[in-house]
Structure 1
Amino acid sequence: NNSLLKKRVQSLRFLDSSFIMRRKPGIGAIHKQKLEQEKYKDKGTEIQENQFEQMTKQMEIFRTNLEDFATKHKTEIKKNGQFRRQFTEMCASIGVDPLASGKGFWSVLGIGDFYYELAVQIVEVCMATNYKNGGLITLDELRERLVQARGKRKEHQDITNEDLLAAAKKLRIFGN
């Protein structure tokens, strides 16, 4: 009985020690892990492409809606300086620059043209007053002179200081 008990204890120790010693991962396990990583990477790329496609569609829909809004409110944008400022601020906050593009619906609306025309008129006023002030003029005086030159009829747009600054920025393409 005693010898049988010793044999059982020895066999239990052997089994116990064999469970403690684990085998290191082999080449097959490494290949399996690599395949799993590639699957995750492929799935991540697929998800990223789907998200990009959805975002592109949403931006196209948004651009169309913005065009519709601008077309619908064209006269208000052109006539009302405060509304025009709010519209351009909204566009700028979402990364759309209505003044940067000379083509597309911005030019159809005449929004870009308004600032280019205003820039030319700013240069004309500065050149006309050059003999008095060296071409330097305050925004308020410039605005007053432009309103006088353009007339106060209803078909002329209101001019704000923000409009003058935006138009003056258009002149940067000519240098300092």
Structure 2
Amino acid sequence: MRRGPGIAGLQHAVRQKEQFKAAGEEVKKNTLQALQEQLVAFRSSLEEFARRHRSEVRSDPVFRAQFHAMCASVGVDPLSSSKSLWASALGLGDYYYELGVQVVEACLASRSLNGGLMELGALQRAVARRRGTSAEPVSQDDVVRAIKKLRVLGGGFELLSIGGRSFVRSVPGELNTDKNTAIEAAGSRGFTSVPELSVAKGWPQGRAESVLQALTLEGLAWVDDGAPDRVRLYWFPCLGGAAQEAA
């Protein structure tokens, strides 16, 4: 008959298990400490890099976007405080707050034309015109970061994606799925109609008409009754044209 391990064997197994556990905890502690030390060293190097390349970060939008990505990889937010080391080293706090004001001005200037929905590229060009040729170049990435800062102030600023295109909404409200679908259906032409939307999406005409009328009431669509076939067209200024560039 085979005998069990006995009390001594069980005690040895328990001690061995405890030793393995202690060794594992020590390895975990040492690894975490090493990672923390590496992170501190990397942040220090990043601060020195920021000081040396301040002018490039300020003047080159591509370089600035890459710098932001590098900061994000180690959990550093250069915009977290206007009084932070990063703000003093780079001046980015003031840069993005100033840019945020220009974004608000451009959105307000075009709101009566586009209902508060503006394509991101058009907004970036409008902001660049306001800044003038002597100011640092501004990219779409810069505009997006400024908008994210504006969110804390409320006011309805929001980034949207419709049909693979990026838009900025500057008025409180919500675009539901049907409204997004109608705007997307207008496509590159910038307009659609009740019959066209109904056929394209397989909707009853009542549903298509209700959505387009709602968009018109919100100022996002314009009505055109001058088509040769007398079919009412709904134009979307946010999809291009003079209304986009008026800001």
Larger RCO, structures 1/2 (Cα 8 Å, 6+ apart): 1
Question: Is 1:101 equivalent to 2:101 in the alignment?
Answer: no
**Which range is displaced more, 51-60 or 98-107?**
98-107
Note if contact 2:43-2:74 (Cα within 8 Å) is conserved in structure 1: no
1:8 match: none
Note if contact 1:126-1:137 (Cα within 8 Å) is conserved in structure 2: yes
Q: How many angstroms apart in 2 are the aligned matches of 1:22 and 1:135?
A: 84
Note if contact 1:81-1:158 (Cα within 8 Å) is conserved in structure 2: yes
Note if contact 1:98-1:111 (Cα within 8 Å) is conserved in structure 2: no
Q: How many angstroms apart in 2 are the aligned matches of 1:166 and 1:149?
A: 18
- Structure having the larger proportion of residues in strand: 2
Q: Which structure 2 segments of 5+ residues have no match?
A: 157-247
> 134, 151, 154: which one pairs with 2:115?
134
Higher Rg of the two aligned structures: 1
Note if contact 2:79-2:92 (Cα within 8 Å) is conserved in structure 1: no
Q: How many angstroms apart in 2 are the aligned matches of 1:172 and 1:97?
A: 20
> What TM-score does the superposition give when structure 2 sets the normalisation length?
0.56
Residue by residue, what CA displacement relative to the aligned partner does 1:89-132 show, whole Å, maximum 9, x if unpaired? 2333x243535522533222222332222112111221122233
Q: Letter of the aligned partner of 2:48 in structure 1?
A: D
Structure 1 stretches of 4+ with a deviation exceeding 6 A read: none
- Structure having the larger proportion of residues in helix: 1
Q: How many angstroms apart in 2 are the aligned matches of 1:134 and 1:97?
A: 36
2:27 match: 47
The DSSP-based 3-state class of the residue aligned with 2:137 is: coil
Question: Is 1:173 equivalent to 2:146 in the alignment?
Answer: no
Among all aligned residue pairs of Structure 1 and Structure 2, give the percentage whose two residues are the same amino acid: 39
Q: Letter of the aligned partner of 1:115 in structure 2?
A: Y
2:66 match: 86
2:49 match: 69
Root-mean-square deviation (CA, aligned residues, Å) is: 2.0
Mapping of residues 5-44 of structure 1, within 5 Å? 21-44=1-24
Q: How many angstroms apart in 1 are the aligned matches of 2:28 and 2:142?
A: 41
1:148 match: 129
Note if contact 1:125-1:146 (Cα within 8 Å) is conserved in structure 2: yes
Q: Which structure 1 segments of 5+ residues have no match?
A: 1-20
- In the alignment of these two chains, the number of paired residues is 153
**Taking structure 1 as reference, are residues 149 and 100 closer, same or farther at Cα in structure 2, changes over 3 Å only?**
closer
